[in-house]
Amino acid sequence: MIKLNILSLFDGMACGVLAMQKAGVKVDTYTAYEIDKYAIQTATHNFPMIKECGDVFSADFTQYKDIDYIIGGSPCTYWSIAQKNNRETEASGLGWELFSQYVRALNDVKPKFFIYENNKSMSSAIRESITKTFGFEPICINSALVSAQNRNRLYWVGKRNDDGTYSKVDIKQPEDYGIFLKDILDNGCDLTVNDKSWTLTASYNGAVPWNMIERCQRNMVAEPVTDAIRVGSLPRPNGELSTSQAMRIYSTEGKSVNLVSGGGGMGGKTGLYAVPVEFKDNIPTKAVSYADDKTYTVYEVKNGLIAIKGKEYPIKLNDGYYIIRKLTVSECKRLQTVPEWYEFPVSDTQAYKMLGNGWTVDVIAHLIKATLNT
């Protein structure tokens, strides 16, 4: 097993350690720069060997002489199309200053390899400026190939040349695992009707971590499905259908929407999903989901209509019964291919934020394997 010394910038919840492990790398030292106290708490809880160093702006990167790999992605908040106000579209501003700290580290440390990641929705001007800085184009990979999440990201992956410059590592797209949202959900509900309870399961098999990929690969589709399937929206209090992203309803037959760290509303961070339930006799009115122990209304869909508070709305679902809910932290971990044993010693609010900011572990592991095979 190869041993590497890692420098991780904007480290978050230490997905870099997870990716190195997944790639078969033994992490000799892992030096991290991160300022969010909850991310630091979570990272060191899971990996006590991490050396946390704080803010990149005050870092002296010249002290690191034996670093093999620099990894990181400066915060995409400033560049993302999701930024409604004051989005940065030129190579200036705080977003560019944060990126420049990554470049400073790269120039000072001169590691053997580097990975820089950011959001595909950045402006063409910023993308071109980053490409000019590194000297080569990025590869775009959708996490939907290795998980049930539609998450397009750009990756600049470089290998140091003998003259100290960097060249692009040739990377192929990951294999399509064929995983859909329904494959990673915690299924099952306790339904209560007229003060009587029944236990039932959802109308598909729930996720079982040790056989999930094997099961999905047996059901591979000819063309990769990478998108979330929107089926409708919830109404506003006034009865009109909402146009907000946080109120859109998606099917479990496709992928999830892209996890985000700062979304508000019911489904702002994870999306809302119509989870099918089935039963034999009585029609339930409420369901307690095994996923989060919360009580949900059971909705009937018939002839393309869903009845909500006595009013019917159009919805693109098969006839049947559904609960509508956001994803749990555990389910979001699976979307980011974070192992089940990984713990969040913080609130769910902070866990959702970290997962929205984090990396899809299997994608990064794929990139690491490609660099080490060059």
Amino acid 185 reads L
Report d(CA 307, CA 129) in Å as an integer. Answer: 51
Report d(CA 224, CA 367) in Å as an integer. Answer: 20
Segment (H or E) for 142 = strand 139-142
pLDDT at 186: 87
**Helix (H, G, I), strand (E, B), or coil: what is residue 27?**
strand
Q: Any idea which fold 2-176+338-372 has?
A: Rossmann fold (3.40.50)
pLDDT at 288: 73
User: From the first residue on, what is the mean pLDDT of each consecutive set of 10 residues in the chain (374 residues)?
Assistant: 95 98 97 98 98 97 96 91 83 95 98 97 96 98 97 97 96 96 81 39 35 35 68 93 91 94 80 86 72 86 94 95 93 96 97 96 98 92
Report d(CA 340, CA 343) in Å as an integer. Answer: 8
Report d(CA 206, CA 54) in Å as an integer. Answer: 40
Do residues 26 and 48 lie in contact, with contact meaning Cβ atoms separated by under 8 Å? no
pLDDT at 224: 53
Do residues 323 and 227 lie in contact, with contact meaning Cβ atoms separated by under 8 Å? no
How do the domains of the chain map onto residue ranges? Answer: 2-176+338-372, 181-332
Could you give phi then psi for residue 45, rounded to 5 degrees? -65, -40
